[in-house]
């Protein structure tokens, strides 16, 4: 399966840094992309509902998926798999925003219906929740236009031990077009990235001149990345030198998406590059006259984004946008150097599981709330660096 994307966190900048410029027209456009979750019939409310605390912490789950090729109707292979997952936890009382990166290979139970669960990588939660045909017996909250986002929210909430209030999902084309609306962004490349196997999407099925017999022989003896890399015409060679690099939407996507770099490869390094792009977008928004660009940007997003943040909630967020922009931003990455470990599923997939055991989320929850208090790593692990503001 082609490598996917870990770049979505940049949308935080659009939601929390520049919302104040949306205005009436932008809000009406936002209304067109908001979906209403189908929820179970609630029990009668026999007690008064307390007045909501305006400073109550809340969270937004950011999801990135492949979607369609450009403006075509051809879906990327695994186009609804959300290989970018980041929980944005916002605490107004502490004036803190925590970005929690969730790896796509985390092994979790998905509620597919009739009281049963399907063990799967977490990147399938949005896809399975969106698929009413394959899973017709899902609970009602996981059906309809918001079903995928709702399933992803509930699964992530179980892992982190805190409610997930909203989701925002954006596809590959949306990311690229928004960066282009902004103009080139300045990305500080920290170390050399050299990736000889960056996938060319339109060539994912190309046989590269090999005969059917040669393809069959390779398939019989190889699998995964090793098999894919026998078809060299499916890839291009990426190279980024250290230093400040100007990137358009296509280039920024490649930098954030690359996974096979010789020095900066793997999912965890890719997640770190994603956060570099976040900061680059934020700086761009704050240094240009972005207000005239906000309407076309929201119009662009309307074709490539889905969310359960309704118009009324968005209006409330707008009133607090300038305040949120002053908050300290920290980051928490769940990796195999702290609370996760590598494993293999019964069907041979590479997966990540809690280091204290499958389905045991207690240490992960403790790590998110108080990372320095988690038990010392074993000799095979390395201590987690102290978090610093971005």
* Domain extent listing, the chain: 8-37+55-185+248-373, 193-240
CA 117 to chain centre: 23
Q: What three-state secondary structure class fits 226? A: helix
Q: Choose the weakest-confidence range: 150-154, 200-204, 343-347.
A: 200-204
Closest CA to 153 of 309, 1, 343, 369: 309
Q: Nearest-CA neighbor of 93 among 57, 69, 119, 129?
A: 57
Would you tell me how many other CB atoms lie within 10 Å of the CB of residue 7? 29
- pLDDT given at position 299: 64
Highest-pLDDT range among 20-24, 192-196, 262-266, 378-382 = 192-196
**Confidence at 389, pLDDT banded by 50, 70, 90:** very low
Coil, strand or helix at 54: coil
Q: Is it the case that residue 291 has pLDDT exceeding 60?
A: no
pLDDT at residue 227 in the model: 85
Higher per-residue pLDDT: 204 or 214: 214
Tokens of 279: 């900061």
Residue showing tokens 């997930």:
164
Which contiguous run of DSSP H or E holds residue 214?
helix 212-221
HSE value, Cβ hemisphere, 13 Å, CA-based, for 339: 28
> What's the pTM?
0.74
Rounded mean pLDDT of 48-57? 75
Q: With a cut of 50, say whether residue 23 has pLDDT above it.
A: no
Question: How far is residue 254 CA from its own chain's centroid?
Answer: 15
User: Is residue 354 scored above 70 in pLDDT?
Assistant: yes
Give one word for 110, left, alpha or beta, with left for phi > 0 and alpha for psi -120 to 50.
beta
- Helix (H) / strand (E) containing 267: helix 266-287
Residue 97: C-alpha distances to residues 91, 142, 167, 199, 259 (Å):
6, 28, 16, 33, 27
What counts of helices (H) and strands (E) characterise the chain?
Answer: 13, 14
Scan for tokens 């108080």, then name that residue: 370
* Over residues 290-305, mean pLDDT: 64
Q: Dihedral (C-alpha) 174, 182, 6, 280: value to the nearest 10 degrees?
A: -170
| pLDDT score of 74 | 55
Interval 73-100 mean pLDDT:
82
Q: From 185, 167, 163, select the one nearest 176 (Cα to Cα).
A: 185
Q: Mean pLDDT in the chain? A: 79
The Cα–Cα gap between 45 and 138 comes to 26
Q: What is the mean pLDDT of residues 319-336?
A: 81
Tell me the Ramachandran region of residue 333: left when phi exceeds 0, alpha when psi lies from -120 to 50, beta otherwise.
Answer: beta
Reduce the DSSP state of residue 14 to 3 states and report it. Answer: helix
pLDDT band with cut points at 50, 70 and 90 for residue 377: very low
pLDDT at 245 over 70: yes
pLDDT at 86 over 70: yes
In 3D, which of 1, 169, 172, 174 has the Cα closest to residue 78? 1
- Please give the residue that has the higher pLDDT: either 33 or 222: 222
Give 27 or 135, the one with higher predicted confidence: 135
Q: In which residue are the tokens 């919302």 written?
A: 19
Are 79 and 28 in contact by the 8 Å Cβ rule? The answer is no
Higher pLDDT pick, 326 / 376: 326
Better-scored residue on pLDDT, 113 or 11? 113
Of the two residues 238 and 176, the one the predictor is more confident about is 238
Domain 8-37+55-185+248-373 part of CATH 3.90.400.10: no
In this structure, the strands spanning 340-344 and 96-101 are: unpaired
Q: Over pLDDT 90: what percentage of the chain?
A: 33
Integer Cα distance of 133 and 144 in angstroms: 11
Over residues 28-45, mean pLDDT: 69
């Amino acid at each position: 399966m082609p490598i996917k994307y870990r770049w979505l966190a940049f949308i935080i900048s659009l939601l929390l840094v520049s919302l104040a410029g949306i205005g009436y027209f932008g809000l009406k456009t936002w209304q067109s992309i908001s979906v209403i979750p189908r929820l179970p019939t609630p029990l009668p409310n026999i007690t008064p509902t307390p007045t909501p605390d305006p400073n109550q912490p809340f969270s937004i789950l950011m999801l990135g998926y492949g979607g369609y090729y450009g403006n075509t109707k051809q879906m990327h292979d695994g186009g609804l798999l959300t290989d970018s997952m980041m929980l944005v936890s916002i605490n107004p009382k502490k004036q803190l925003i925590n970005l929690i990166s969730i790896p796509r290979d985390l092994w979790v139970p998905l509620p597919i219906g009739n009281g049963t669960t399907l063990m799967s990588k977490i990147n399938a939660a949005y896809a399975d929740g969106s698929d009413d045909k394959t899973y017709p017996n899902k609970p009602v909250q996981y059906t309809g236009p918001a079903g995928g986002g709702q399933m992803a929210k509930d699964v992530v909430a179980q892992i982190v031990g805190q409610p997930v209030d909203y989701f925002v999902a954006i596809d590959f084309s949306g990311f690229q077009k928004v960066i282009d609306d902004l103009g080139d962004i300045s990305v500080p490349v920290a170390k050399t990235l050299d990736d000889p196997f960056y996938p060319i999407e339109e060539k994912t099925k190309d046989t590269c001149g090999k005969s059917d017999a040669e393809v069959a022989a390779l398939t019989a003896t190889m699998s995964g990345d090793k098999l894919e890399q026998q078809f060299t015409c499916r890839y291009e060679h990426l190279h980024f030198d250290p230093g400040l690099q100007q990137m358009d939407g296509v280039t920024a996507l490649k930098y954030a998406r690359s996974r096979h770099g010789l020095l900066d490869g793997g999912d965890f390094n890719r997640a770190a590059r994603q956060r570099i792009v976040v900061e680059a977008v934020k700086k761009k928004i704050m240094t240009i006259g972005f207000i005239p660009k906000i309407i076309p940007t929201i119009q662009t997003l309307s074709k490539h984004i889905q969310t359960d943040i309704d118009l009324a909630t968005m209006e409330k967020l707008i009133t607090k946008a300038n305040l949120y922009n002053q908050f300290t931003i920290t980051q928490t990455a769940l990796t195999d150097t702290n609370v996760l470990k590598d494993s293999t599923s019964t069907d041979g997939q590479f997966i990540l599981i809690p280091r204290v055991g499958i389905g045991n989320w207690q240490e992960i929850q403790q790590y998110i709330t108080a990372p320095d208090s988690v038990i010392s790593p074993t000799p095979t692990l390395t201590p987690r660096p102290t978090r610093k503001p971005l």
